[in-house]
Amino acid sequence: MKRKLQGRCINISTVGEKAQAFIPAPLPPVPPIEYSSGLREKFDNAMLAIGRLDTVSMLLPDTSLFIYMYVRKEAVLSSMIEGTQSSLSDLLLFEFEKQPGVPLDDVQEVSNYAAALNYGMKRLEEGIPLCNRLLKEIHSILLSEGRGREQTPGEFRKSQNWIGGSRPGNAAFIPPPPECIQDCMGKLELFIQNKPEKTPVLIKAALAHVQFETIHPFLDGNGRLGRLLITLLLCSEKVLRKPMLYLSLYFKTHRQRYYDLLNTVRLTGNWEAWLGFFADAVIYTANQAVGTAQKLKQLSEADAQQINGLKRISGSAHLIQKAMLERPIASPNWLQEKTNLAQSTVNSCLRELEKLGIVKELTGRKRNRLYSYAEYLSIMNEGTELPD
């Protein structure tokens, strides 16, 4: 549906140039969203896919691995890191063992992203509503180290920015001036919190994402935080219990269409076109994640069967397997602490699991060895094939 310009333009002067900034009208759109039968069906399917994802997420021992898997793939896709340089194993080594030799800068951003998401989840569980204060807190973690560290983490911007282009004159879009951010974000917060009226959560996540990107309230990290906002919204309204929906890969793969839609919404008010794209992204991503989670579950069950054959030490080996489902790269020391088994038992279990092909030793060293749950990791690596 075509509407008029979704806000107003004002003249500004920045870095010595005159230009026009855009101040969005508050959500929800006026006139309201027109649900064609096609759009309604897409959203029904998207909610079903999220429901399946939520169910399957409860089967996994540790969903943060999923988040690493996706964030890493996204970083590879945006050429921020070389695919070959920072494998999922590198990332896990960095996270879990702080191993030297892992390309630190490459994985730092991925690590920040996961930390920011975990922090947001923790605050929601503590009962904090999804509000601007929380978004600022999450932003400060997102930009705490690496790219964007100098860009005032945790604070709304105090200067004019623009998107695309080397200067305001050739920018793709100029977000609102800094003095309007508080007001724009205040109104977005009310919309997110269903004030004055409730919006169905998936529609709300889709609309809020665009509005957040249009306001572009921070100097950097708006894309990342705007994508986190989607997942956090679904979690805060209990549609997802774990933050398993990660749309970035889809957005990045369809970058041009995604950017075009952000502009189209603003200029023509065609929110329905954006909603259709958003629902496709949810359906594709959720279905793919469900497939990966199911493969992981099948593998862990098949391996548990094999472990049963170990007879005398099978009980201990099951404990090791369980620990490595949570942390698929682990040292014998960590496994000992985690399982409370004797060191000698841990070592003999690892030897047997290696013979079965379930774990692989990574270092080739005699001391300070590290083991990986190889097939588990490789399913995770596969789990982010690019959308068509």
Which residues here bind ligand ATP, judged by CB under 6 A?
A: 163, 172-173, 213-214, 220-224, 226, 259, 262-263
Shortest Å, Cβ 143 to ligand ATP:
9
Shortest Å, Cβ 388 to ligand ATP:
21
> Of 362, 286, 366, 313, nearest to 96 (Cα)?
362
Q: Is 225 annotated as a binding residue?
A: yes
Q: Is 44 annotated as a binding residue?
A: no
The dihedrals phi and psi of 372, each to the nearest 5 degrees, come to -120, 150
Confirm if 68 and 92 have CB atoms less than 8 A apart: yes
- DSSP-derived letter for residue 21 is E
> Of 102, 100, 98, 97, nearest to 87 (Cα)?
102
Residue nearest to ligand ATP (CB): 223
Q: Is 254 annotated as a binding residue?
A: no
Catalytic site includes residue 254 = no
139, 209, 216, 254: the active-site residue? 216
Q: Which residue, 142 or 203, has its beta carbon nearer to ligand ATP?
A: 142
Q: Is 82 annotated as a binding residue?
A: yes
Shortest Å, Cβ 272 to ligand ATP:
18
CA distance readout (Å), 326 to 39, 231, 294, 330, 338: 39, 22, 16, 10, 11
Q: Is 7 annotated as a binding residue?
A: no
How many residues in total does the chain contain? 388
Cα–Cα distance measured from residue 369 to residue 359, given in angstroms and rounded to the nearest whole number: 12
Shortest Å, Cβ 50 to ligand ATP:
21
Q: Position 19: which residue type?
A: A
Q: Which residue, 142 or 234, has its beta carbon nearer to ligand ATP?
A: 142
HSE (side-chain half, CA atoms, 13 Å) at 140 = 8
Q: Which residues define the annotated binding site for ATP?
A: 82, 216, 220-227, 258-259
Q: Which residues define the annotated binding site?
A: 82, 216, 220-227, 258-259
Catalytic residue numbers read: 216
